Each structure stands twice: as structure tokens, then as C-alpha cells.
Amino acid sequence: MRHSATDMFDLVADVERYPEFVPLCESLHVRRRVASGEGVDILVADMTVAYKMFRESFASRVTLDRPRLSIVVEYLDGPFSRLENRWTFRPESESASEVEFYIAYEFRSRTLGLLMGAMFDAAFRRFAEAFEQRADQVYGRREVVG
């Protein structure tokens, strides 16, 4: 990314803004936020994803670990049997970083998985682009130097 690791961490950590730019994210509500000290915040959030007539909500625990520049999302409740999600931000220079995004999920219902699985896969493939565009919008577009 053409933005610093800390800027990218801040952008991803600002979950309340996801409905503005994240594919399929219709709403996101933070139920609880706890600062556990030493730069680590833990929040519980409800996210609603929607596409045409489909709408599903799920709850997650999100650990924002600023000192390690990582974000871990733990699935709590909703239409999945499992959902694993983590972000890692590695500085490459003062104004560039490598962002690693990992997600694995499985729908509880086979039918829902067949109906929404391909749509989710397509949306997750667009995630990197959505976050990069958002970073350019928030922090300004930067040229790659190197």
C-alpha cells in the first residue's frame, strides 16, 4: 500500500465507517468498546451485510492491537458456523506498507452457503481495492517511490 502501516491500521480499525465503503456492508454497530491498556482495544460489533434480497447480521469480537499492528476478528454469533479474520500491517517505509488480510468462513446453512457463498467470495476479493481507495481518499493519493 502507498500508505504507512499505522495509517492503514487506523483506517481498518475505524469499523464504524465500513458502511461508507466496504462491499456488502449495510450497517455496523459497535455494542461495546473496552480499552484493555497498552494500546489494545477490544470491541464487540454487529455487522449487517446485504445484497439484493439477502440480508444477514452477525456479531464479532474485534481486537485492535496497535503495538503489534494487528487486528483479529473472532466470530460470536450469526449465520456462520465459523468465521476467522485477521489483518497484519507491516511497515516498508514511512509512507508504504504491506497489508495482509486473511479470512476464512463457512455458512451454518448449506443452502445459505450456496446462495451467498459466491457473492461473499467476490466481495472479499474486492476488499483490498476498497480499503486502498478509502486510504487514498482519507490520506491523499501517494505515488509509489522506489
pLDDT in tens, the chain (146 residues): 899 999 999 999 999 999 999 988 999 999 999 998 899 999 999 999 887 777 889 999 999 999 999 999 999 999 888 888 999 999 999 999 999 999 888 888 777 676 666 777 677 777 778 998 999 999 987 665 54
- What pLDDT is stored for residue 98 in this prediction? 95
Residue with cell 474485534: 62
User: What does pTM read for this prediction?
Assistant: 0.87
Nearest to 68 by CA among 132, 9, 129, 135: 9
> Is 79:105 a contact under the CB 8 Å cutoff?
no
Cα–Cα distance measured from residue 113 to residue 16, given in angstroms and rounded to the nearest whole number: 26
Total domain count for the chain? 1
In this structure, is residue 12 part of a structural domain? Answer: yes
Angle formed by the axes of helices 110-139 and 5-13, to 10°? 130
In this structure, is residue 41 part of a structural domain? Answer: yes
In this structure, is residue 111 part of a structural domain? Answer: yes
What is the span of the domain harbouring residue 73? 5-139
In this structure, is residue 27 part of a structural domain? Answer: yes
In this structure, is residue 95 part of a structural domain? Answer: yes
Q: What is the CATH number of the domain that holds 104?
A: 3.30.530.20
- What pLDDT is stored for residue 146 in this prediction? 46
The cell for 36 is 484493555
In this structure, is residue 105 part of a structural domain? Answer: yes
In this structure, is residue 112 part of a structural domain? Answer: yes
The cell for 139 is 490520506
| CB-based contacts of 125-129 (< 8 A; 24+ apart in sequence) | 126/23, 127/22, 127/23, 127/101, 128/99, 128/101
The cell for 129 is 481495492
In this structure, is residue 144 part of a structural domain? Answer: no
